[in-house]
Structure 1
Amino acid sequence: MKPLIAITLTLIFGGAMLTMTTSSIEPSINNAKGTHHSDKGGYINTAADFTEETAILPLLMRYATEKRVDAEPEQMQPIIELTSKQLMELPSDQDMVIRLGHSSIFMQLDGKKWLIDPVFSERASPFSFIGPKRFHPTPISLKDLPEIDGVLISHDHYDHLDKATIKHLASTSTQFIVPLGVDKHLLRWGVAANKVQSLDWWESFNLGSTKITAMPTQHFSGRGIFDKNETLWASYVIESQQNKIYFSGDSGYFAGFKEIGDRFGPFTLTMVETGAYDADWPTIHMTPEQSLQAHIDLRGETMMPIHNGTFDLAFHSWYEPLERIVKLANDTDVKLATPMMGQGLTLKNNQLNTSQLSTTEYWWRTETQREMALAL
């Protein structure tokens, strides 16, 4: 059983668990037309079936009384360590995607280096001593990163927007692309105003030959108790000269995935949230079944499940999202990539190197479990 203060802080600051208050922002009168801007400021979800999550006390009772099974790994997870030299020497004629943990991604696109939702801190929390703690180290340290050309931020929750990481990158020439309102955090942390580009949904920004377009998603925002939905949340369509990639950020399942797929698909790779789901917050995170359907709606060629494997942000076992999505993909003939943290996926000419698909490796299982699975 977790101490009550730790439970409360996790619920408030853990990103996935920030569901204790009903938004103070009333829906816009134009809500039926699809606007996500509120007349009273801030942003709203517009799906007809969207429901606000409340009831912190029942959640606290669950944390205090519900038996957790394998909330975190019993042994150190395998990762592939990276060096700055390796990343600097990646072939310039190929795009590369490397998962760093949770929803943190390194990409090389058109020869430029990118990070998505980089979280290098030990905890997804405003505090260094309490809050969701990472299961594994990052494959490369923050200080060892090569020069980063661009950073994408999906929203301002602590497991996606990390103050220490941003402050480190603020002293570099990095260009930041964020949803509306998130720029205020970066400016406060020392990022120069000319290095921050904020986007509304459907707006685009080009960095070199790579085009970034902010897309709708169904979630919420806030880094404290009193700033809920003051900043926008987004997914991204990422178009290099050779490939189209989709990054979901955090989202419940909604009709927007099909609209994005119809307008921008097909995608060489979709990176889709698959983790931190629960019956108590069904409209802001997806079950694995919904994540797979989102990938299909998006017209993705290969799916990489993200938002799992690094932090304990829900009630399910830490490996459950990966086990479930692998089975679903196998049952439906969907191409799935589940790389170890630090393992690269090569994309060239709208094709992913299929020899790198690692669905049979089951890196999240123990060695005995992997041997048993391979013997079946």
Structure 2
Amino acid sequence: MKLLHTSDWHIGRSLFEFSLLDDQRAFFEQLCQIIEEQKIDALLISGDLYDRSMPSAQAVSLLDEMFTTLIRRYHLPILAISGNHDSPRRVSYGSYLFEQSGLYLAGQLKPQLQKITLCDSLGKINFFLLPYFVPAQVRLMYEDSSIHTSTQALEAIIEHNRDIICPDERNVLLAHGFFMHQHHESEENTPILPQTCGSETSVGTSDLTDLSCCEGLFDYVALGHLHSAQRAGSNTMRYSGSPLKYSVDEAKNSKSVTVVEITEKGKISFSLIPLIPRRDLRLICGTMEELCKQENKSEDYVFAQIISDGPVLNAMSRLREVYPHTLGLSFCQSVQQNTPELSLDLAALEPMELFSRFYQHITGQQLDKEKQDIVSQALKKAEKDREEEE
């Protein structure tokens, strides 16, 4: 059976002030093409269908269009769970009715995992849908006061569902969160840690969940939440990554979906199918003159780093004449080295000396006579205003 693993669609997301609905629709067209070319048997979506718990009407309409097209055109089973950005109740709405059409949605965490069984020429494959959870939910659900961490919560969930998980059968788990098989011996004898690539990979104080309790039970663990395609300590426990770049931090990353092929029990292979965005997201760097050359004109989303030793007037409007989808800009100096450190005894310095040192520290240049005169006049006016106030 060939499975297409994807996650973190974030339907309805905006990039700064730009709506990404058209970009997400373009991703869906590529998804359909991949499904046809790869002859996919089932689609797995590991959470974060929407970008917000209360998605816009346009976002709901687009996801409805996506699901309807996939089921009517390809008669393709779709298995999806809610992520931390989703509303569990909204994702669960109509799920019993949708199952009749092959759309399996697990929005709300329940004591018993939702189990979906599909068949291929070799027999049954069981899919277990685990929506996003936090330890407090699991503690209350099982009335177990000993559950405090995400690892303990996952262990409790697996333990309470052992009677429906047959290790001798082919099993697949869908889950959403910050996971790692910490005790797995990989080919390099070390797990691959999550990469930093945007807001959903900055784990901060998030509780890392150890997947060790899933060892031997599941042939493949389809994960969502981190936006970069990667393994979670094991080749059979993987994040698919998001289909689009959803932050400037992801500019240097490439996007893909994961095709997983399961044959006999314990035999699994996978490949990453690259995605080509409608508009790429790029970082550009240079002087205004270099960046604003007409031959650089592009419809991509760009964030500009402008090299300048002074203020630049109308920088954003000038950039958007060449890059209509400019997200933002920052400034950096052309000279940032060999600059003396500011004196630690700042209170002992005269205002002009203090400003001169600050200017040199920031720009790497000496304050020339013309600029000294401007600063001197400003300081005199400030002193005069202070005296008048007193």
The higher-RCO structure (CA 8 Å, 6+ apart) is 1
Structure having the larger proportion of residues in strand? 2
Q: Say which one has the larger Rg.
A: 2
Whether these two folds match at TM > 0.5 is no
TM-score interval, smaller chain: 0.3 to 0.5
Normalized against structure 1, the TM-score is what?
0.37
